[in-house]
Amino acid sequence: MFQKKIGIYSLTLAMAAMGVTGCSSDGSGSSFENAASSLTEAAAQPDGQTDSESLSAASEKKNEVIAVVNSEPSAGWNPVTGYGQRYDPILQSTLTKAYGGEITNDLATGYEISEDGKEWTFTIRDDAYYSNGEKVTASDVAFTYEAVRDNSTSLDLSNIASAEAPDDTTVIFHLNEPDYTFLYVTYKVGIVPEKGYDENYGENPVGSGPFKMVQWEKGQQCVWEYNEYYYGNEPEIKRIVLLFMDDDSAFLAAQKGDVDIIFTNQNLAVQQIDGYHMENVETIDNYGIIFPTTLDEGKTSEDGRAIGNDVTGDPAVRKALSVGLDRDALINDVFNGYGKKSFSMCDTMPWFNEETALNESNSGKDVAVKILEEAGWTDHDGDGIRDKDGVDAQFTLLYTSSNANRQAMAMAVAEQAKELGITVTPEGASNDDITKRVYSTPYVFGRGDYTPNEFYLMTSTNTIGSGWSNTGYYSNPTVDDYMKKAMASKKIEDVYKYYKLAQWDGETGASLIGDAPDCWLVRADHCYFVRDGLNIGDQPVQPHCANGQVILSNICDWKWE
Amino acid sequence: MKNMRKHGILNRRTLTLIIIALSVIIILAVTAAGFIMDEELYAPHFAEKNLPPSGHHLFGTDWMGRDMFARTVKGLSVSIYIGLLASCATSVIALFLGVIAGTFGKYASGIFNWFVDIFMGIPHLILLILISLLLGKGAKGVAIGVIVTHWCSLGRIVQAEVLALKDSQFVKASEKLGKTKLWIAFHHIMPHVVPQFIVGLILMFPHAIMHESSITFLGFGLPAEQPAIGIILSEAMKHLTTGMWWLAVMPGISLLIIVVLFEAIGSHLRMLLDPYSAQE
């Protein structure tokens, strides 16, 4: 009996101990212990200084920044396997940049498109060198794009038939299909040197960006220093220490004053830290609900996943939720006010159709109820839930259970939907489990980038069933036609024009006042605690980025004041 | 008689009975309250989020404005329910296997011991996580995980008891009278094992409850929207940094109290049932 007692109490103690050391359930960050050790190691500088004074001493020199982000790229700092596709890779340079959606030259000095739209000729600058002193040549660019096409799973470059470099500063891309929106992939690919590239590149990246990597301890920290061969303006910040921690550890590190800038979540953002201020950056990091748009006809996909949902397969239900959910309340309740209303994948971008933004006359509970009643969704059997043809207006809403924002979003949507007479049942699951059910069950999702391709991926008939793109089996020939025209447009203004029409042409479209294949609700601000005196420049609207590294995109403009 | 006077009006036996009764009532009340509770009581009310404990919200509210007292009670009742179910099932396995191993000679007890060694050799928690994952998590995964892993020690106790009984006179006599081993097992041995078994069963509840909470805490158990105590504690972890202590402390203490109550029932029941202490 005594032993049993011991057993029970030690179990209780073990629980308590788990509580203290804190295993992060989402698995994204390091534990407190890890964080602590990475901090001490951050203090251990290459020249052997180990005391914490060296930290503040380094900061006093005003050319070093210690930044905390959530995680490192799992496959290393290699653009070929996906690094830097969502934010400026810094270690490598790209042909163009797209801060805020406007494309500007970086490595490229200009481009020409052939008459048929299938041949893109880029000229690149002559004065670009890698951090090892080697020259950046056009054949490196051709090599990189072909390697990304063949290796990357997150960026689809299958339209590139081949890339060639007739001389050192000219690179020609031959496309399979004409695509005038090809420009929007050129900011996503960091250039790697053809000579010396191998599968271990991600561990020892050599690039032509403003910084080079000098040290990387996996899971703990990464040290970058200024690349003196960089062709652009010399930044004031010469050294960056990136620490990898989860939100809680990062917050504690900032409270101790050990770091200069941390990425944090909207729950911690309402706190105050002495010596730091909050910078919340506007984003196109859209949060919303992705709907199955077809009815359940018993079909399954090739890999056996059920397709369709009898409730959200009705556009009236999707539209009613899109216009009826109170976005202001969601911003306050879920994101503590750190967010903006979201109406599509395209908000704030030059190709956003302003007509699809909701205003007081076409949104709200009354409008939603009217849409539902007109479509025949009324409470026939008096159980408080609307129904139509014997089907109750109820569905399960999946969310990633490790993500507190998405959970709160699902719960808040369920509460609001109740008032519309629709029963929404939130259900937490891992992303793997959600993937198995995406074709038949609505889910909470976050997405957004500087390219109209995002809108294409979510709404084109061609992208049905590819990864997280168009999981709703949405298909509208008119929308497809507009997007085809956009890709065949020779002027960027026409690309914008046709993408606007694809959203809403007055009669139909893939926006929330059209078919509403998805319901975007909030653009969540990215929140950072920044040490007073650190100027992080003008931050453009940021794309969806889970780990916060996107803040470094304009590192060359940062300075200590 | 003198000894009894020292304890005041209540003699030890009455006191024991009262403790058991009180514990049972509290546990039953929590379980029942959880079952009949209206979902609205622990639904999110975003207007009242992150409130510290007060008269209105006894245990405070969390980051979605859910009342933590209601959630804790609901969570405890879910845990108790799964714990009871799993303990009962696993005890039956333990009783059955233990009796068979004790009664049917060398080979039966050899195989039994081999199984027990295997299950005891692997840490409970790891085995539980594996089984729960294989069965797709959720209440089913947790319950079956606990059932499959927890019968060993109780099974050993039952087996030892049976082995001791086997040499007793009445069993020998029964054998000489030509009764089958199975008949003896059910008519002579089972009744003697029952008191040990009942106490073992009750002492297993807290184990099962703690293990259910532990693997749910680690993310391998019940789903996140379920108000289970493991979920509550793991969510609370994310908010300790901001000083919202009540999210972890109040439900944690509540869980501890329930575990201690079960422990009290078990050990006091043993006092009553055990022939050596029953007459004290």
Smallest Cα–Cα separation from A315: which of A115, A457, A512? A512
What CATH code is carried by the domain that includes residue B121? 1.10.3720.10
* CA atoms B36, A430, A551, A412: torsion sign: negative
Cβ atoms of B211 and B141 within 8 Å: the answer is: no
Q: What's the CA dihedral at B188, B191, B194, B195 to 10 degrees?
A: -110
Question: Quick check: is B57 in a domain?
Answer: no
Question: Quick check: is B48 in a domain?
Answer: no
Per-residue b or e along A221-235, where b marks 16 or more CB atoms closer than 10 Å to that residue's CB:
bbbbbbbebbbeeeb
A56 pLDDT more than 60: no
Preferred mutation among A266, A267, A271, A424 to probe B, highest tally of B CBs within 10 A: A267
The share of chain A scoring above pLDDT 90, in percent, equals: 64
* Nearest residue of A to residue B223, measured between CA atoms: A428
The pLDDT-based confidence of A50 (bands split at 50, 70, 90) is: very low
Q: What ipTM is given for this predicted complex? A: 0.75
What pLDDT, on a 0 to 100 scale, did the predictor assign at position B223? 82
A415 pLDDT more than 60: yes
Work out how many domains chain B is built from and give that number: 1
What average pLDDT does range B108-127 have in this prediction? 88
The pLDDT-based confidence of A2 (bands split at 50, 70, 90) is: very low
Token look-up 């009815």 returns: A295
What average pLDDT does range B98-117 have in this prediction? 85
Q: For chain A, give the number of residues.
A: 561
Residues 385-414 of A with CB under 8 A from B: 401-402, 404, 407-408, 411-412
What pLDDT, on a 0 to 100 scale, did the predictor assign at position A11? 45
Question: Quick check: is B55 in a domain?
Answer: no
Tens digits of residue pLDDT in A172-207: 999 998 888 888 899 999 999 998 898 899 999 999
Question: Quick check: is B59 in a domain?
Answer: no
Question: Quick check: is B56 in a domain?
Answer: no
Question: Quick check: is B58 in a domain?
Answer: no
Preferred mutation among B39, B64, B244 to probe A, highest tally of A CBs within 10 A: B64
Question: Quick check: is B49 in a domain?
Answer: no
Which of A1, A16, A25 has its CB closest to that of B234?
A25
Rounded to a whole number of angstroms, the distance from the CA of B241 to the nearest CA of chain A is 6
What pLDDT, on a 0 to 100 scale, did the predictor assign at position A235? 92
The pLDDT-based confidence of A10 (bands split at 50, 70, 90) is: very low
Question: Quick check: is B134 in a domain?
Answer: yes
Range of the domain at B191: 2-42+65-279
Residues of chain A found within 8 Å of residue B228, distances taken between Cβ atoms: none
Q: Using a CB–CB cutoff of 8 Å, tell me whether A483 touches chain B.
A: no
Tens digits of residue pLDDT in A330-384: 999 999 999 999 999 899 899 999 999 998 888 889 999 999 999 999 988 888 8
